A and B are shown apart, each in its own frame.
Chain A
């Protein structure tokens, strides 16, 4: 068997779409600062504004609502810290932040940081065993604390297990109490129709959509004006200073437009492959558990626990066989920790450690799934023999 790489880590980063690569490289070849007043500057600015318009159109918002950032992490930080600061400037008693325990660290960590350094009072909503936020809980929290709540942050779809949140309902609830709702849609954009006009603030990232790494955007409802994290030249309506990265922005827009164009066909195909993968893994290997909502989830994500072994042993052996996937969890000090998402869904730490995330996408094929099914039983058997090296 030839050792060809099978890439099952789209949720970590997806390969660049050809449209994005073309748009980006042609921009890299020309000079121009989008803030300059001369012809080269105007040319670059035109590319930025056309990109902004196409992204806005896909997301059902106005172009002026789109603020370009260096990526999803910056967009989440800008929204959470910036909205919290602005709200407290107006009313110092708005100290409470409601968020979910299954958020990405780009949301959890700024929230925690505000708790540690800026007197924020953090409340975590509960999530059920498929990773969906409890709306009754949210409603109760909103009713009880609307006069002290600064913002609500809940993601559109989870990056580890793929579960999709009830964004429209959350939005309606928050709107009822006039509390800003920030939504991390980094994993959702390009995978399902995202109507950014539903929320007050929405973060997206280029490289999860088939665009370049290092670019993203924050979509802000008019009137939501976060205090900037980066001060400087006053670009992006003074909300995000820094020279505009025209090539990356062009690549981002091209990727989002292309992903929107083939979304129905692509996600149907990817979902079918993913379902086939899950079905065949469960059929060939014993004691496998699927994590997340099997029905209402992102099309490409399969999060599976393999009882009795360590995810890192599986990952090493799969890597050696040319199959690339992920533990689906963050590293602390370079050491993989049991996923906070799986723990919040009620998994015990050992089961959480035995989990792998396979994430499929645009270029995934039936042959990729076949290859995985061919090697995985032996790999799981070996990893189970290696056991769980713990006390």
Chain B
């Protein structure tokens, strides 16, 4: 096959591309330039698409003996991922930009472009497995539970999966690093990326404040209705958050206060004890299915954040809306995050969380 290997300049995509070459594919390395003003260098695990990263990607391609190009998708990334990120936060939701990037950039813009140019597939260093099942291509968790990225890929439909290659899903990260070293790839001990790539200092609240400006309002105790503080923008708060709420004094009972509600329309942040965070009914919109859509109510597992655990639930589907009735309650479920539905290791589909309540 003719394969476009996305090379971020990190160790995972490097080994993924190397494995695609070993498998006999005709591979072309492509570094995606997603930032409109890339920094010169990485700082630890922070940042992305720096000049240093594109240099590292180029050197990986050299070692693998494959052509290398840089594709500028920064404008599209800005409109499809960053603008969406900002407008979701402005609505008081907590989006996952990695999911959005996989959906709109890597497996739509890049994949469509590659296919139009005559390539058969796009290869990435994501930790997930694609399995040929009885009804077609299936997306499964990676064997390394620490690195599994099936959650951020759960937006992919079967036709996208049929043109995706994830060569790392069967291997643990520690072995990928060893393999990179054995292959002579200079990125073998480069730190993993964390946080949001376009928020280089990791300070999401500050970054949002630059974009959205001041929107001061009240912090209200959800139990007593009492005004307990002020904030500079409700958009910067996420349900379940405890740190950085900035309340000058503890609650009357001395208990810790968590963000339990965010309403950007009234610029109000509600705080309360952790008990208020418990939910057992989660509603989602924008359902996407990796394969056949669920129609009948089904017992499955749901995962509501990137590094959360999957918990058992009864899933009911109504058109594009999904409701999960959890067997046991969960704490701190934020609107805007994805709810991914699993059958054991297999991704059935996903939806964007719109509401989380107690039955």
Residues of A in contact with B (beta carbons under 8 Å apart): 312-313, 315-317, 319-320, 333-336, 382-383, 385-387, 389-391
Interface presence of B273 (CB below 8 A): no
Please pick, from A334, A382, A387, the residue contacting B70 in the complex, using a CB distance under 8 A: A334
Which residues of B are found within 8 Å of A315, using beta-carbon distances? 69
B76 touches A391 (CB 8 A): yes
State which of A317, A387, A390 has its C-beta within 8 Å of the C-beta of B118. Answer: A317
B67 and A319 contact, CB distance less than 8 A: yes
Give the Cβ gap from B250 to chain A, nearest Cβ, in Å: 47
- Give Cα A385–Cα B119 distance, bound, in whole angstroms: 12
Given A317-B118, A333-B51, A382-B118, are A390 and B76 also a contact pair (CB < 8 Å)? Answer: yes
Query: B113 on the interface (CB 8 Å rule)?
Result: yes
**Residues of B at under 8 Å CB distance from A?**
28, 31, 33, 38, 51, 54-55, 67, 69-76, 78-80, 109, 112-114, 116-118
Q: CB distance B72 to A336 under 8 Å?
A: yes
Closest A residue by C-beta to B50:
A333
Kindly provide the distance from the CB of A122 to the nearest chain B CB, expressed in whole angstroms: 23
Instruction: Check A333 against B33 for contact (C-beta < 8 Å).
Output: yes
Q: Which residues of B contact A319 (CB under 8 A)?
A: 67
- Contacts A319-B67, A320-B28 given; indicate if A335 touches B116 (C-beta within 8 A): no
B79 close to A333 (CB less than 8 A): no
A390-B75 in contact (CB<8A): yes
Question: Complex formed: what's the CA distance from A387 to B75 in Å?
Answer: 14
Q: Which of B67, B78, B113 is the one whose CB lies under 8 Å from A387? A: B113
Task: Pull 8 A–B residue pairs with CB atoms less than 8 Å apart, ordered by A.
Answer: A313-B113, A316-B67, A316-B69, A333-B54, A334-B38, A334-B70, A382-B116, A387-B113
Q: Which of B28, B72, B78, B118 has the most CB of A within 10 A?
A: B72
Q: Bound complex: CA of A203 vs CA of B332, how far in Å?
A: 67
Do B118 and A389 have beta carbons less than 8 Å apart?
A: no
CA of A382 to CA of B31 in the docked complex: distance in angstroms? 20
Contacts of A335 in B (CB 8 A): 33, 70, 72, 74
Q: Which residue in A334, A386, A391 is a CB contact (below 8 Å) of B113?
A: A386
Given known pairs A312-B69, A389-B76, A389-B109, the reply for A334 and B117 (CB within 8 Å) is no
With contacts A317-B117, A386-B113, A389-B73 known, what are 12 further pairs, Cβ within 8 A?
Answer: A313-B113, A315-B69, A316-B67, A316-B69, A333-B33, A333-B51, A334-B33, A382-B116, A386-B117, A389-B71, A389-B76, A391-B76
Q: Which residues of B contact A336 (CB under 8 A)?
A: 70, 72
User: Which chain A residue has the least Cβ–Cβ distance from B38?
Assistant: A333
Q: Note all chain A residues with C-beta closer than 8 A to B74.
A: 335
A316 touches B118 (CB 8 A): no
Chain A residues lying within 8 Å of B67, measured Cβ to Cβ, are 316, 319-320
Bound Cα distance A65, B38 (Å)? 43
Residues on A with beta carbons closer than 8 Å to the beta carbon of B28: 316, 320
Residues of B within 8 A of A391 (CB): 75-76, 78-80
Shortest beta-carbon distance, B77 to chain A, in Å? 9
* A-B CB proximity, top 6 nearest: A386-B116, A385-B116, A391-B79, A335-B72, A386-B113, A335-B33
Question: Bound state CA distance, A387 and B69, in angstroms?
Answer: 17
Q: How far is the CA of A316 from the CA of B26 in the complex (A)?
A: 14
CB distance from B120 to the nearest CB of A (A): 13
Assess the B78–A334 pair: CB atoms within 8 A. no
- State the Cβ distance, A133 to closest chain B Cβ, in Å: 30
Contacts of B69 in A (CB 8 A): 312, 315-316
Smallest CB-CB separation from A314: which chain B residue?
B117
Please give, as numbers and ranges, the residues of chain B lying within 8 Å of A386 by CB-CB distance. Answer: 112-114, 116-117
Query: Nearest Cβ distance between residue B35 and chain A, in whole angstroms?
Result: 8
Whole-angstrom CA separation of A334 from B73 in the bound complex: 13
Q: Kindly list chain A residues whose C-beta atoms are within 8 Å of the C-beta of B116.
A: 382, 385-387
Q: Are B33 and A313 in contact (CB under 8 A)?
A: no
Is A334 a contact partner of B51 (Cβ separation < 8 A)? Answer: yes
Contact of A312 among B55, B71, B118 (CB under 8 A): B71
Tell me, rounded to whole Å, the shortest Cβ–Cβ distance linking A12 to chain B: 16
Question: How many angstroms between the C-alpha atoms of A315 and B51 in the bound complex?
Answer: 21
Roughly how many angstroms separate A66 CA and B51 CA in the complex, as a whole number? 38
Please measure, in the bound complex, the distance between the C-alpha atom of A386 and the C-alpha atom of B4, giving whole angstroms: 14
Query: Which chain B residues lie closer than 8 Å to A333 at the CB level?
Result: 33, 38, 51, 54
A315 CA / B73 CA spacing, docked (Å): 17
A171→B153 CA distance, assembly (Å): 63
Query: What's the Cα separation between A387 and B117 when bound, in Å?
Result: 10
Q: Which of A319, A386, A389, A390 has the most CB of B within 10 A?
A: A389
Cα distance A316–B117 in the bound complex, in angstroms: 9
Asked if B54 contacts A334 (CB within 8 A), the reply is: yes
